[in-house]
Amino acid sequence: MSSSNTSTWIDQFGLQHRDAPEFFVDESSLAGDVPQAHLLHRGFDDLDLDGILCTGNSPLVYFRCLNISDAETEAKLYRDFWHHGGAPVLVVITNDSVHVYSGLTRPDTSENRAGLVETLDRVSDDLPALLLSIESGHYFHQNRKSFNPDQRVDRALLSNLNDTRQQLNDLSQRDIPDQVLDSLLCRLVFTAYLFDRGVIGGDYLASIDVPDCEHLRDVLGIHPTGQAKAALYKLFERLAVDFNGDLFADNLTVESRYIVNKHIEVLSAFFHGTSVKTGQQSFWPYDFGRIPIETVSAIYERFLTESDKQKGAFYTPRFLAEVVLDVALEKMPNLIGKTFFDPACGSGIFLVGLFNRLAQQWREVNPRARNNTIARELMSLIQESLFGVDVNPTACRIAAFSLYLAYLDQLSPRDIQQLQEKGRALPKLVTDSDTQRNITCIDFFKESSSIPTNASLVIGNPPWGDIAGPETLAGQWCSRNDVRLPNNQIASAFIRKAARHTENGGVVCVVLPAGVLFNNSGKAIQFQRDWIESHSLQCVLNLADYQRFLFEAAGFPAIVVRYNPAEPNLKAHRINYWSPKSDWSVTKAEVIRIAEQDCITLHQSQVVEDLASLDAPQVWKRHFWATPRDRRLLDRLSDLPRLRDNVRQVREKSDKRWIIGEGFQPLGPGDDPAESKQVELDSTVFVEATNDQFNLFMTVADCDNLGSKSVTVRQRSGVSTQVFNAPHTLFTAGFSKVVFLDFSASFRHSVKGIQGPKQDADLLKFLTVYLKSKLARYFLFHGSASWGVSRARIYDEELLKLPFPFPETHFGPQSANSIIESVCDVFAQFQAKLLSFPGSKKQLVKEAMVRFDELVFDYFDIADTERDLINETISISIPSTRPTRSRLNVPTVKTSSPQQREAYLARVCDLLNDWSARGDSGVRGQVLISADSGIGLAVLEKVDRSQITTPMPSESTSIVETLDRLRQIATKQHGAIELVRGIKVFDGNKLYIVKPLEQRNWTLTSAMNDADEIAGSLLMQSAEQPA
């Protein structure tokens, strides 16, 4: 397209003021340190793109101009785009229209327009609003049926391959070793890749006496099927000669004995686009010449068996691997000459990603290199820079296979043919008994000279799980090196040993279970202290909120940690802590956007001090969902006396008034009766955790009866019965139910209780109300290790951290006693109503808790603004944590209402005007929105105080035009920025706050924090000065 036409479409989309690293118009603009540049280059080359719009480090929208367009041309373009697997959106621009396609809808053989989301008029429709909608994530919500992550090329291919593999296994007349199936499928993918790239074709097949075939599909489709099998293995034998490498190291004769005609038929169906599950030709045959190599390298991890998962190995999604690489390489712009090592390389997804980036940098430095030089030097990059180990030999061979594909993908078909003609185009990469090479099959914890010790970067996703017992190599290494391992967590062992494999100044970047930083057991805290005091943490990316659609199989949330083995200067060293929350971009398009409020900087000394406190660890959790305002409230509450000051554990020797304990564990069918114990109870009254009446208050009639005061319990059960005595407060292990009992009753270990003397009955009633209150849930949510990170579980130690001053230690003893009396009065009223309306308990409890919450707020002197923080945490934040693919429309991502946005604006203006009450100036404002774009603007104007109640004049331009102007201003001040992430821009005497319309951004909590942030910069100036 001509430059004038290019500028025309760029102007029409409002991109004329946007440059790299946001917007690229050709490959020349990709020079320098551009993350994922290799992927963007492939987009320009393979799809002949006219532009790429990025968000963060990821491609978001591909643009392609077609002067002449027809359905068949666009269908072909769309299939190529889908196979490329880069951006989630393709925008096709014709002379008079704009067609928007989804990269997460699979091409369908039944229609040419598969993947088409909508068609717009190039002149009359608001094209800049379209891009804003995509950038904000609103577009993925509005068109969510068109964006299905399971239909992205990588997930679709791996799913189909997995089905095919299972079908092959089911059809076998005898057990086929996993290694045979894995090697066969990988070899077939490699062969299909050579055909799809045009490296080999009909002439190649004819030369080995396989006539009348042009592609692997044709070979597999030969009839009779026995001849197809013979032709296939003839092809394999020839490729083994031409390409060598570890991929063809198998004994093909032995392998072929396992393969029968039915296997060939299944493979033919797959490569012809037929679903092995349904038998229907429902998808276009895959184009392996365009599919990202990182996808192919994930084949092995998708084939993981249940035993592999028990060993802690899990599939790493491709887009997550790119995010990890971005984090790892953030402070490493020059990769050439560096050494990279993955201590649990699996099928090599990180090594492939590193090679792509290395190759891209080498090409930028050597733009005029000849073909034979390119081939030689790129292979040298692999052999000299990339190393990995894994305990699984199949994984090691597939890692080599992945690197072969990545290498060949950098060469033209003619270059590959020249290598092929020379023979042995691919050197071996896997270590054998004679030669040390790049990929070694070995346990990382085994002492061996084959494991690199001088890496510039150690990167990977080590296994997770409590599998590093004292008998394992990992456990023995920890014992020898005085590493105290919590819960036998093998990932913790990896991070300590990985640091010993870096060069001076090298770094480690690994994907870990979140518990490595969040667990609060004594051993876990000691491990964290030992590690963090001796290593410099540089970045922590907390992916806990993404767990249910990133690591579904793992069952644990993930974090990414980058650190340096050097001991830190605790006072000066800072850690970037990023904790993105789920939104429509990540859940539907797999694009991670980190909002401004989710990026903070911690001093490492803060972390060390936190780990030395009684409440450790708190710092990571309190900076996850809590805002600065929340943290101030939590700090104030933490200064109060705690529940633990007056409650002791069963085995604790102290004079504390109350005791906490769990119920008995009855003898089970699998227990040894000889080791059982007998417990004598004072009462036969029994409370079952599943009892529907387990809610605030129960009577004896609501309970069950054991029939005997003697209970047989298992050997590990406690035998103390004090916690069964009245009065006591009972709660379930999941903290979902709380009840007060004024009579003695026993319970099983799924229930716990806090018991005190009879004179404390009223205080225990208040405790019951408190444990059910919004305030207690608020404090526990922000301070517990699991809630909001993994399971919503509260441990005893965490419960006892709750602030709970007894009246005698309260800052207002008389007021405290009065509030407790009021609680008891409401309690009595509740009990009376319950007698009159026994079937309405749930509703009566709900009504009583409204009054109880207010009394609890009064007891702890919670201000009105603090109550807003608590209420919004309960109603918005907590229900939004860790969404699933079936539960995406959580409160945080729902579109805010006009009332919410006006309340936000009013709170910001009220706070700013209250704080400036003694000055001559004040603030007024208005909210502008673009519902189609999913973007809102809060506009604050600094005026003379006499004008703050006068309505602000409306903006003279549309929100899209205003945003374009703000982008120009902000770019001049700060360089390239992403407005839709939520940014504040000053222009004259106005401040513009750009926010996606999602509810999370327009709460009163957000208003108070925004007001705090802008108060100093806005109100320190006089009304005459520009803001």
Average pLDDT, the chain: 90
Nearest to 730 by CA among 694, 766, 778: 694
Q: Furthest-apart CA pair in the chain: how many Å?
A: 100
Asked whether the predicted pLDDT for residue 807 surpasses 60, the reply is yes
Nearest to 995 by CA among 159, 132, 417: 132
- 863 DSSP 8-state letter: -
pLDDT of residue 6: 60
Q: Which pLDDT band, with edges at 50, 70 and 90, does 442 fall under?
A: very high
- Average pLDDT of the residues in 237-253: 79
pLDDT of residue 394: 83
Q: What is the pLDDT of residues 70-79, one digit of tens each?
A: 888 999 999 9
Nearest to 799 by CA among 812, 811, 787: 787
The C-alpha atoms of residue 783 and residue 863 are separated, in whole angstroms, by 21
Ranges 53-62, 102-111, 597-606: which has the least confidence: 102-111
Helix-strand-coil split of the chain, %, nearest 5: 45, 15, 35
The full 3-state SS of 171-202, as one line of letters, equals HCCCCCCHHHHHHHHHHHHHHHHHHHCCCCCH
H/E element, 301:
helix 299-302
Strand, helix or coil at 420?
A: helix
Nearest to 794 by CA among 851, 738, 741: 738
- Average pLDDT of the residues in 563-582: 94
Yes or no: say if 991 and 975 are a contact pair by the CB < 8 Å rule. no
Q: Which pLDDT band, with edges at 50, 70 and 90, does 1026 fall under?
A: very low
pLDDT of residue 571: 85
Yes or no: say if 220 and 232 are a contact pair by the CB < 8 Å rule. yes
Structure tokens of 597?
């409020």
- Domain boundaries along the sequence of the chain: 3-147, 154-291, 643-875, 892-1019
Q: What is the pLDDT of residues 693-739, one digit of tens each?
A: 999 999 999 999 999 999 999 999 989 999 999 999 999 976 789 99
Listed in sequence order, the residues at least 6 apart from 15 whose beta carbon sits closer than 8 Å to its beta carbon are 23, 51, 53, 131
Strand, helix or coil at 120?
A: strand
Structure tokens of 978?
């992403």
Number of other residues whose CB lies within 10 A of the CB of residue 434: 5
For 397: left if phi > 0, alpha if psi spans -120 to 50, otherwise beta; the answer is alpha
The C-alpha atoms of residue 516 and residue 62 are separated, in whole angstroms, by 39
State residue 552 phi and psi, 5-degree precision.
Answer: -55, -45
Nearest to 510 by CA among 461, 543, 566: 461
pLDDT of residue 38: 86
- Average pLDDT of the residues in 836-849: 92
pTM for the full predicted model = 0.93
Q: Which pLDDT band, with edges at 50, 70 and 90, does 657 fall under?
A: very high
Q: What is the pLDDT of residues 744-797, one digit of tens each?
A: 999 999 999 999 999 999 999 999 999 999 999 999 999 999 999 988 888 889
More confident of the two residues 215 and 320 = 215
Structure tokens of 590?
């797999």
Asked whether the predicted pLDDT for residue 443 surpasses 70, the reply is yes
pLDDT of residue 176: 82
Length of the chain: 1027
926-930 long-range Cβ contacts below 8 angstroms, 24+ apart:
926/951, 926/952, 926/954, 926/955, 927/901, 927/902, 928/955, 928/959, 928/962, 929/901, 929/959, 929/997, 930/129, 930/132, 930/958, 930/959, 930/960
Asked whether the predicted pLDDT for residue 976 surpasses 50, the reply is no
Asked whether the predicted pLDDT for residue 488 surpasses 50, the reply is yes
Yes or no: say if 400 and 430 are a contact pair by the CB < 8 Å rule. yes
pLDDT of residue 314: 55
Listed in sequence order, the residues at least 6 apart from 552 whose beta carbon sits closer than 8 Å to its beta carbon are none
* The CATH number of domain 643-875 is 2.30.230: no
pLDDT of residue 816: 97
pLDDT of residue 1023: 40
> Radius of gyration of the chain from Cα atoms?
32
Angle at which helix 261-271 crosses helix 225-243, to 10 degrees, equals 70
- Average pLDDT of the residues in 508-517: 96
> Which residues, listed in sequence order, are joined to residue 92 by a DSSP beta bridge?
64, 99
pLDDT of residue 299: 65
Bridge-based pairing state of the strands 51-55 and 751-755: unpaired
The C-alpha atoms of residue 453 and residue 565 are separated, in whole angstroms, by 13
The C-alpha atoms of residue 510 and residue 515 are separated, in whole angstroms, by 14
pLDDT of residue 291: 87
In 860-992, alpha helices (H):
864-872, 878-880, 898-915, 959-974
Asked whether the predicted pLDDT for residue 574 surpasses 50, the reply is yes
Yes or no: say if 444 and 450 are a contact pair by the CB < 8 Å rule. no
Yes or no: say if 356 and 38 are a contact pair by the CB < 8 Å rule. yes
pLDDT of residue 900: 98
